[in-house]
Structure 1
């Protein structure tokens, strides 16, 4: 996708993928840093592995230390075991309202909502995997509309994962145990509704479905290659994607 005309700059330098806005945005998320409603100019992913998260070290401390080294202050932060350069982006405009979705997809610890596979026991420890989704809406959204938008984004992400995993006969999941969504919009809060009947909801849904679909396909293809390489090796299996 052509990055020109985006309302933010994409700054990729592994292990960090940062989206930098020139002007502050109203954001809503359950990010491990700055969760809830907040105003920020940056959203960033941190790519980590097991060695980055030793026992006793709080993930938020790892995240904030990494961001501080890169001068990322007041950042809404996401953490993933995925390669952050493998992000997907989709841009949709409906009736003058633009929604941009960026996602990284890993389903190694996939779950089906309402039926846990991994309940925290060491014997069941999953392979790292997270679906992190960012959505920017071009219209200023009220607090209520931000909440509605995050619900639409969650619905769209789940539909994309369900359809894609089901279509190729893999175990069907609805997400992972560590997924996160961030929605952002300009300051002002003039739009009060963003549901499925609105242009905002349609644009958000379309962008998130397509970005998540592409990310899920990419993860499935990478997983197949990793399993092939592990099967051909003589050493014990390592951590997959």
Structure 2
């Protein structure tokens, strides 16, 4: 697996070399070139409603010399990350995920909340094979599909139905530049990618539910992740 470095409140996924990355991350979204993907753990109290969160994160990254990275924000304890690697017909997909479900939603509806929550699912994937931009778009759709399947199967009930994700999920998919045009479910790329994301997300959701359950039994207030 690619190197994952934990130095709370930071989690770093080293891609091994500069790659194209597609995401809607708060720092450097869209199609960019990057060598690593970072998570920054925060608490709700760290980010008051009037704060310019994007600029705050840029400052945090600049202080670390990481201006060029793709970066997520999460209130999930980053020590609880999950990692999975799957190889299918010579294609390897490596997925790193943090899964917090405190602001879970069911697609197509919204739960009324009294205050904002920064709990989220953040997933990064590194593919071993070169992709075109078209295939990278398809790859991120497969990652989202795997995320959704894992969360539905986690069985988190909301007033609107079973959760399918959270209101602040983010996915980043990295791959070398290449000419491959397809990454769908019939391909080795889609099979490896889907399996890795599904596994990492499933285990992350199970751990979150176990963590929340143990805190509730202990009478501890649970906020954030």
Q: Which residue of 2 aligns with 1:129?
A: 119
Is the CA contact 1:25–1:185 (under 8 Å) kept in the aligned structure 2?
A: yes
Q: Which residue of 2 aligns with 1:200?
A: 189
In structure 1, C-alpha distance between the alignment counterparts of 2:20 and 2:72, rounded to whole Å: 17
Match of 1:159 among 149, 165, 169: 149
Deviations 1:208-238 (A, max 9, x none): 111110000000000011212236xxxxx46
Q: Which residue of 2 aligns with 1:145?
A: 135
**Would you say 1:18 and 2:8 are equivalent positions?**
no
Q: Which residue of 2 aligns with 1:174?
A: 164
Q: Which residue of 1 aligns with 2:223?
A: 239
Deviations 1:59-90 (A, max 9, x none): 11222222222221201010000011110011
Q: Which residue of 2 aligns with 1:101?
A: 95
In structure 1, C-alpha distance between the alignment counterparts of 2:28 and 2:93, rounded to whole Å: 22
Gaps of 5+ in 2: none
- Name the Cα RMSD after superposition: 1.6
In structure 2, C-alpha distance between the alignment counterparts of 1:106 and 1:25, rounded to whole Å: 27
Is the CA contact 1:17–1:45 (under 8 Å) kept in the aligned structure 2?
A: yes
Q: Which residue of 2 aligns with 1:70?
A: 64
In structure 1, C-alpha distance between the alignment counterparts of 2:59 and 2:219, rounded to whole Å: 33
In structure 1, C-alpha distance between the alignment counterparts of 2:44 and 2:154, rounded to whole Å: 28
How far residue 128 of structure 1 moved from its aligned partner, in angstroms, is 3.5
Q: Which residue of 2 aligns with 1:89?
A: 83
Match of 2:198 among 209, 217, 220: 209
Q: Which has the larger radius of gyration?
A: 1
In structure 1, C-alpha distance between the alignment counterparts of 2:16 and 2:67, rounded to whole Å: 14
**Would you say 1:220 and 2:209 are equivalent positions?**
yes
Gaps of 5+ in 1: 1-5, 232-236
Distance 1:240 1:27, change over 3 A: closer
Aligned length: 222
Match of 1:112 among 96, 99, 106: 106
Structure 1 residue ranges, 4+ long, deviating more than 6 angstroms after superposition: none
In structure 1, C-alpha distance between the alignment counterparts of 2:208 and 2:21, rounded to whole Å: 27
Is the CA contact 1:10–1:17 (under 8 Å) kept in the aligned structure 2?
A: yes
Is the CA contact 1:226–1:240 (under 8 Å) kept in the aligned structure 2?
A: no
In structure 1, C-alpha distance between the alignment counterparts of 2:109 and 2:15, rounded to whole Å: 38
Q: Which residue of 1 aligns with 2:51?
A: 57
Q: TM-score, normalising length from structure 1?
A: 0.87
Q: TM-score, normalising length from structure 2?
A: 0.93
Q: Which residue of 1 aligns with 2:40?
A: 46
Is the CA contact 1:17–1:46 (under 8 Å) kept in the aligned structure 2?
A: yes
In structure 2, C-alpha distance between the alignment counterparts of 1:112 and 1:126, rounded to whole Å: 17
Deviations 1:182-220 (A, max 9, x none): 000012x22110001100000011111111100000000
Q: Aligned to 1:225, what secondary structure does the other structure show? A: helix
